[in-house]
Amino acid sequence: MPRARDPMTGGDSLDMDSKRSPDGEALRVLIVDDHALFRRGLQMVLASESDIEVVGEASDGTEAVEKAKSLRPDVVLMDVRMPRRSGIEAAGAIRDDLPDAKILMLTMSDEEADLYEAIKAGASGYLLKEISIEEVPDAIRSVWAGQSRISPSMASKLLSEFAAMSQRGGDSKNAGAQLTPREMQVLKLVAQGLNNKDIAE
């Protein structure tokens, strides 16, 4: 049976087996955001998904790292800018503790520097809160399956920035110039919608 197209990436949607963790259980998700109402909204949406289980929540990066250690989620859905410790700092710490966990940033920040740093810290996706909250479950499934997810507006900014950097010869004042050549290559591929498997090849 043919698979449906994914409206956010243009790729094929995932079958049910790829939506679950390796042991066949529902995907364990940790929600991290400093706005309680937004966390509640995400919980309500994800509660209706039979293959996703919200195992906990945190209101800042420090709490996120602690909760991730104890709850061992499959996917961490996390904001970027939060009190005490940013989502980017927390992402790096969580990846060190749980290298198999996937981190999906869901944020208001459309700053290119935040996107660069999030990916360097190990995030598998970077989505703006401008997306419909109903799209979040599929985003969680796709990053767990090894795909990278970036909001279309951020992907467009990336491609424009790469073109400008190429013309400037890589201006050292630009945030992207601090990336290694490999990191730059990966970002270009991610912006083009390729998943982690394609990038590895």
124 neighbors 102 (Cβ within 8 angstroms): yes
Q: Which residue has the higher pLDDT, 166 or 102?
A: 102
Q: DSSP labels for 172-201?
A: TTSGGGGS-HHHHHHHHHHHTT--HHHHH-
Q: Is residue 15 part of a domain?
A: no
- pLDDT for res 120: 85
Give the chain's end-to-end CA distance (angstroms, integer): 27
146 neighbors 200 (Cβ within 8 angstroms): no
Query: For residue range 19-75, what is the model confidence (pLDDT) as tens digits?
Result: 555 556 899 999 999 999 999 999 999 999 999 999 999 999 999 999 999 999 999
- pLDDT for res 12: 42
Q: Is residue 1 part of a domain?
A: no
- For the residues 183-192, what does the mean pLDDT come to? 61
Q: Which residue has the higher pLDDT, 170 or 86?
A: 86
Q: Is residue 68 part of a domain?
A: yes
Give the C-alpha separation, 144 to 161, whole Å: 28
Query: For residue range 171-183, what is the model confidence (pLDDT) as tens digits?
Result: 544 544 455 666 5
- For the residues 117-140, what does the mean pLDDT come to? 90
96 neighbors 141 (Cβ within 8 angstroms): no
Give the C-alpha separation, 151 to 131, whole Å: 8
- pLDDT for res 182: 60
Query: For residue range 93-123, what is the model confidence (pLDDT) as tens digits?
Result: 999 999 999 999 999 988 888 888 888 899 9
Q: Which residue has the higher pLDDT, 117 or 189?
A: 117
- pLDDT for res 16: 44
CATH number of the domain bearing residue 97: 3.40.50.2300
pTM: 0.73
Give the C-alpha separation, 113 to 22, whole Å: 34
85 neighbors 98 (Cβ within 8 angstroms): no
Q: Is residue 37 part of a domain?
A: yes
Q: Is residue 6 part of a domain?
A: no
Q: Which amino acid is at 176?
A: G
140 neighbors 29 (Cβ within 8 angstroms): yes
94 neighbors 105 (Cβ within 8 angstroms): no
Give the C-alpha separation, 82 to 4, whole Å: 36
- For the residues 163-170, what does the mean pLDDT come to? 64
Domain tally, the chain: 1
Could you tell me which residues come within 8 angstroms of residue 69 by beta carbon, excluding any fewer than 6 positions away? 97, 98
69 neighbors 61 (Cβ within 8 angstroms): no
Give the domain extent around 101. Answer: 26-151
Q: Is residue 165 part of a domain?
A: no
